[in-house]
Chains A and B, each alone.
Chain A
Amino acid sequence: MNQTYGMAGVSVVVLATALVGALGLRISRTTSDFYVASRTVAPRLNAFAVSGEYLSAASFLGIAGLLLAQGVDMLWFPIGYTAGFLVLLAFVAAPLRRSGAYTLPDFAEARLESRAVRRIAGVLVVGVGWLYLLPQLRGAGLTLRLLTGAPGWLGGLVVALVVTAAVAAGGMRSITFVQAFQYWLKLTALLVPVVFLLAAWHADRAPLPAWDERPVFHRSTEVRVDRPVNVTVREAVRVTATGSIDGHPLRGAVLTLTEGRHHIGAHTGLRFPPGAQVPLPDRATGSASLAPSGTEHGLYATYGLILATFLGTMGLPHVVVRFYTNPDGRAARRTTVIVLGLLGAFYLLMPLYGSLARLYAPDLLLTGDTDAAVLVLPQRLIGGVGGDLLGALVAGGACAAFLSTASGLTMSVAGVLAQDVLPALGLRHFRLAVVPAIAVPTAAGTVVGGLPVADAVGLAFAVSASSFCPLLILGIWWRGLTPPGAIAGLLLGGGSALTAVTTTITGTTRPGWSHTLLAWPAVWSVPVGFAAMFLVSLATRHRVPAGTAATMARLHLPEGRV
């Protein structure tokens, strides 16, 4: 990955973001403008913005990395990310817009006429937001580390600062333009290179990747190991090494790695010949993915992933907020359908990148940096100035990915903090709230260990699916929901998922059923959330809010009917 070109690409994206954001700043002056862009955003523009915001580092970097490491099962991630919008469309889009609320806590209070529900929903919004922000900042750290060799935490810090400035300055309106622009940037950043990559692959006699067996180095590859790692070699291979292997210091020596385990020291470079099998790291070292693998409770994990993503999208804070910028319920539906198309167009590229990575960047499995798959492919496959330019384009796209999602999330978390934590309303207080909104995940990122980005994002989905999905579905379609019921569901469903997920992140669980259940809580926490909400509401029937009939009419009747 060429450093100068990469840095140039990133700088261009950051400057363009700031520029487009500044355009928005000139227009946003009132609080209403600030929060919800005065509801004058057209469906198509809004759809671009939703898609731009939604395609995070998990989509841009993470999916290809997981495909490289784990194969075709990982395609459930992008399917889930997209299908969640269909569920949102079918049950939530129009009524949520018609509720007139700005945020999820707003909806909770409007529907249930209870401040307690509002507060708890607010806490969960902040929790989900922070869970989602953490991997974005880590993706930024990884990209910056690849580009400049800077330590991982610096990238996260840079993104945090840029996002703080953008959000505090322009609020929602500027963010709309920025996000719309960034959808196109991200799509271009992957679409243009893939054309060239496929051409190069074709010129290389179009090999097919090995999925069932261990991956093989297609060409002679130089692997650079930054952190010490233990590997298992299945087939003896001659390598040229500089650094340390099994404790022996080496300088450009040619040696044979025999079958069995070897320890590769930090900052070691190894050159593998073409056709050599890739030695894989032991599970204990490097970032072990949570994702469904063939052997360990794969079916359970796959369904956990499906449930979390299909049902969690509707509750994600940065998605929810953007729906309120539609002029009415019908426009909200139309926006959602366009989003389905835009996301699909993007995700169609993922199998291509995953397969190319398996062929040409299998060494990433060794170093554990699978999230970097998309970033390194142009230089690997094309090389020269063309490879550098395309690599810069991809780096710029990755940058756009974490900037846009991080802005959207910071925006929503700050909004909730400002409305519910800092008592008075007003612009000044919103700007203050931006600081804790982004500072906490940035700090946490330095402490917490290394899950692949797409996995970490799945955890946020699980919490959202266990708390906000029941709240929205039951709140919009069932007249019997009561405030105690909602609280019970949020606390039991959301609370249990949040606990399970936090335990997983701290990495203290050992492999086995307990680890799997905690890593993929959706299978049990979503039913818990629904059941709790339903049963407790039935038990507190007398607490059904007085205005429920009128609220239902407002949520479901088309505008213009009085």
Chain B
Amino acid sequence: MGAEPTPRREVVTGAPAGRTRAPYPDSSAHDDLAVRKLMRRQVRTGLVACSLLALPLGLFPVVFRLLPDGDTSRGAVWLLLGVAPYPVLLATGAWYVRRAERNEGDVNGR
């Protein structure tokens, strides 16, 4: 790409005083539809992320009560509760951010 032939005009606005709110988006029917679609997508992504977390974790208390006594069970419980959740939470979070940003990118119509 060559050098820019003419200087670009930039509009600089000052730092907002008090509450900052983005300007109201155009509330035409078309945009409203886009918003609803985006919201549906984001809710779905959010629910997937949380059920990846909630379902296994939610079942653990019941499952653990049913486990037989013994050293291997105890070791497994310590690992599953003390170590395993954190990398899983981080990975799920990272996945969610990627998906959510992609959902938004679709709205922007890239």
Contacts and interface: CB of A to CB of B under 8 A. Distances in A.
Contacts of A333: 96-97, 100-101
For B39, B54, B96, B105, which residue has the most chain A Cβ atoms within 10 angstroms?
B39
A340 B86 CA distance: 8
Contact of B83 (A30, A76, A348, A552): A348
Interface residues of A, number: 56
Nearest to A551: B24
B86 A348 contact: yes
B90 A556 contact: no
A549 B27 contact: yes
Interface in B52-67: 53-54, 57-58, 61-62, 65
Nearest to A346: B86
Given A86-B92, A100-B21, A344-B87, 14 more contacts: A31-B18, A72-B78, A72-B81, A75-B81, A76-B81, A86-B96, A306-B58, A310-B54, A344-B85, A549-B27, A549-B32, A550-B27, A553-B24, A554-B21
5 contacts: A86-B92, A211-B74, A337-B97, A351-B83, A558-B107
A553 B77 CA distance: 45
Q: Is the interface of A mostly helix, strand, loop or mixed?
A: helix
For A89, A302, A303, A351, which residue has the most chain B Cβ atoms within 10 angstroms?
A89
Interface string A36-60: 0011000000000000000000000
Contacts of A550: 24-25, 27
B17 interface: yes
A87 B50 contact: yes
For B50, B87, B105, which residue has the most chain A Cβ atoms within 10 angstroms?
B50
Contacts of B16: 32
A87 B45 CA distance: 12
B19 A100 contact: yes
A212 B70 CA distance: 10
A299 B58 CA distance: 11
A347 B85 CA distance: 10
A98 B19 CA distance: 12
A442 interface: no
Contacts of B65: 299
A350 B85 CA distance: 13
Given A87-B50, A90-B50, A100-B22, A212 B38 contact: no
| Those 8 A-B pairs whose CB atoms lie nearest each other, nearest first | A344-B86, A90-B46, A351-B82, A75-B81, A558-B104, A100-B21, A553-B25, A337-B93
B69 interface: yes
B67 to A, nearest CB: 11
A83 B25 contact: no
Contacts of A477: 39, 43
Interface string B1-34: 0000000000000011111111111110001101
A348 B17 CA distance: 43
A336 interface: yes
A82 B89 contact: yes
A206 interface: no
A341 B77 CA distance: 22
A336 B94 CA distance: 10
A30 B42 CA distance: 36
A554 B45 contact: no
A98 B69 CA distance: 50
Nearest to A91: B46
A515 interface: no
Contacts of B38: 556-557
A344 B90 contact: yes
Contacts of A560: 108
A552 B58 CA distance: 31
A225 B78 CA distance: 31
A94 interface: yes
B42 A556 contact: yes
B108 A344 contact: no
Given A550-B24, A556-B38, A347 B107 contact: no
Contacts of A261: none
B60 to A, nearest CB: 9
A536 interface: no
A86 B50 contact: yes
Nearest to A33: B15
Contacts of A330: 101, 104
Contact of B15 (A38, A85, A211, A336): A38
B39 A561 contact: no
Contact of B82 (A75, A89, A211): A75
A99 B39 CA distance: 15
A463 B12 CA distance: 44
A79 interface: yes
Contacts of B32: 549, 553
Contacts of A284: none
B85 A83 contact: yes
Nearest to B81: A75
